[in-house]
A and B are shown apart, each in its own frame.
Chain A
Amino acid sequence: MISLTSYAFVSMMLFSIGVIGVIARRNIFVIYMSIEMMLNGINLFLVTFARYHFNMDPQVITVMVIAIAAAEAAIFLSVIILLYRSRKSLDTDIFTTLTQGEKS
């Protein structure tokens, strides 16, 4: 029997890797994938506790999250295409048009 702690640990690992991916990586696709990874980390966490407490509510939320993530993927990918068309690049650091201070 795999303990609850292991499930929680894996889901937190997934979330943390996602966070680090968002912060540390520059490629916009990798950032997108990291965001998905964070979502899935949360999903795993919810499902685990749903099973543990025999409560179906978290599973409803999980299905909801997956549906929204799918919709989000459609928008995200189209935005990435537009960004790529305007700058011919996938590096997030060059999309600084909305900056206020000196360009960094």
Chain B
Amino acid sequence: MSTLLSLKNLTKRFGGLVAVDHVSFDVETGSIVGLIGPNGAGKTTVFNLITGNYRPDEGEVVFEDRPIKNLPTHKIVSLGISRTFQTIRLFQKLSAIENVLAGCHCRMKAGSLAGMFRPPAQRREERQALETALQELQFVGLQDYAEQLAENLSYGNQRLLEIARALATQPRFIILDEPAGGMNNQETAALIETIRKIRDRGITVLLIEHDMSLVMEACEHLVVIENGAKIAEGTPQAIQNDPKVIEAYLGTDEE
């Protein structure tokens, strides 16, 4: 097992608030890792630091032995890291297939001139992209909704669509921000399956989730964050029994 992603001493401050406080952990290739912690602990901020939406004040982010700290987001995507958003950021007024095609963009080459004059290579590329997009829709089970507008899909399906779009970028590492948000038990169970299938495709998964059943079922390794700092790390069983973690989530008894 090699290390795919390595965070070292990652720190981010917003004015006087330390949102992420010297966080360090590694993600092994081929694993499914969960990042958990109470609300407002800084988990999404860690994600944003990995994807380049925020610049870290201190620390390093190393992906496949390459430092990616100050690269622009789209470059990080082309290097093989893709993500979904906590609040769902789909292109609501566009169809499902168009949403997924957005993910295909970075693996295509045609520019404005090719777009206007349509050489054979461009036409091939367009066909290929459409096939890839349909494949990803099928992977998440949304192939029947291809031409539906994103805003017309159910909340759970919108989350799946976002995953399909992220998969279309052909990532080696995918980070999912609360993918089960708003899903019922059935949908969550299907999601766990999907996450495993993603890993079986050779894509490493890092996810933030509050749904403990999903976390315990799907993740092999957990990292716990509270108030911006890592307080525990280990297997789901170990974390479940860790007193620091219990305190973070539930508080202590009044003596």
Do A and B form a real pair? no
Chain B interfacial positions (CB closer than 8 Å to A)? none
Chain A residues within 8 Å of B, Cβ to Cβ: none
